[in-house]
Structure 1
Amino acid sequence: MHAWVFWLIAAGILFVVEMMTLTFYLLWLSLGAAAAMLVSIVVPDNILLQVIVGCAVALVLTVFTKPLAKRFRTSRGFQDTGTELVGKKGIVIEPIDKGQYGIVKIGGDTWSAVSDQFIGLNEQVIVVKRGNAIIEVERWEETH
């Protein structure tokens, strides 16, 4: 198999995974793989050059777009989709042991969740805090 096909597949997979995560980090890696693919078409025998160009493109994009992304996130009117989770109710679909992860369904999304207490299957919870990919929940009681 030609090297450009490998780079094309890598770029495609990274791009699809990026569309599912929306972190922008995999997008830059995908563009780096695409740049390596272009180099492999021009210089098919120099794998080292392909890797160097791919890594350089991904690194440059990551370094120079981080301030832009930070400015965008702090701009007025921007709301991270996860910040609206705090205060929402969900249902436990995988039990949460104290100090262990479980899974909670909120609306149509599932989240890894932790709690200071054991929360069993199908119990209702409320989100009290959100980390990057993990939420902290408490058992929902009607007194809330």
Structure 2
Amino acid sequence: MDAWVLWLIAAGIILVLEMFTLTFYMLWLCIGTLVAALVAWFAPDAYLFQVVAGCVVALILTVFTKPLSRKFRAAKGFEDTGTELVGRQGVVVEPIEEGQYGIVKVGGDTWSATSAQTLAKDELVRVLKRSSTIIEVERWEEFI
């Protein structure tokens, strides 16, 4: 199998992973692997050059888009959809063991959740913070 095909497969896998994380960091890696595939198309035996080209593109995109995304987030009117979760009430769908993951339903959405406490199914919880796809919760009674 040609190297450019392998690079395209890797790009597809990374793109799917990016869709799960929603962070844009893996998108830059995906674009880097696409550049490596393009290099592999024109120079199939230059494996080191393929890797270096992909890494350089991913690094440049990461470094130069970080300040741009920071400005975008600081812009007036920008609202991160996850910030409204903090403080909201939810219900445990799958039990959460201390330091392990479970599932919590907040509003109409289900989230992977972690807690410093053991929480049983159907317990009410409060969202403490949110990372990209995981929320941290605590038993609701402690806040009433």
Q: What is the TM-score normalised by the length of structure 2?
A: 0.86
1:67-124 per-position Cα deviation (integer Å, ceiling 9, x unaligned): 0011111111111121110122211123234454433222222122214x43211212
AA aligned to 2:114 is A
Residues 15, 133 of structure 1: CA spacing in aligned structure 2 closer, same or farther, 3 A cutoff?
A: closer
User: Which residue does the alignment assign to 1:9?
Assistant: 9
User: Which residue does the alignment assign to 1:85?
Assistant: 85
Q: Is the 8 A contact 2:93 2:104 kept in 1?
A: yes
User: Which residue does the alignment assign to 1:58?
Assistant: 58
Greater alpha carbon shift after TM alignment, 11-20 vs 40-49: 11-20
Determine the C-alpha separation between the residues in 2 that align with 1:112 and 1:14: 24
Residues 78, 110 of structure 1: CA spacing in aligned structure 2 closer, same or farther, 3 A cutoff?
A: same
Q: Is the 8 A contact 1:104 1:113 kept in 2?
A: no
Determine the C-alpha separation between the residues in 2 that align with 1:99 and 1:138: 12
Q: Is the 8 A contact 1:39 1:50 kept in 2?
A: yes
Residues 3, 100 of structure 1: CA spacing in aligned structure 2 closer, same or farther, 3 A cutoff?
A: closer
State the secondary structure of the residue aligned to 1:81: coil
State the secondary structure of the residue aligned to 1:77: coil
* Number of residues of Structure 1 aligned to a counterpart in Structure 2: 142
Identity %: 58
Note the residue ranges of structure 1 that are not aligned, 5 or more in a row.
none
Determine the C-alpha separation between the residues in 1 that align with 2:21 and 2:130: 16
Superposed displacement of residue 16, structure 1? 2.0
Q: Is the 8 A contact 2:111 2:135 kept in 1?
A: no
User: Which residue does the alignment assign to 2:114?
Assistant: 113
Note the residue ranges of structure 2 that are not aligned, 5 or more in a row.
none
Q: Is the 8 A contact 2:101 2:112 kept in 1?
A: no
Matches within 5 A, 1:17-96: 17-96=17-96
AA aligned to 2:112 is W
Q: Is the 8 A contact 2:123 2:139 kept in 1?
A: yes
Residues 87, 3 of structure 1: CA spacing in aligned structure 2 closer, same or farther, 3 A cutoff?
A: same
Q: What is the TM-score normalised by the length of structure 1?
A: 0.86
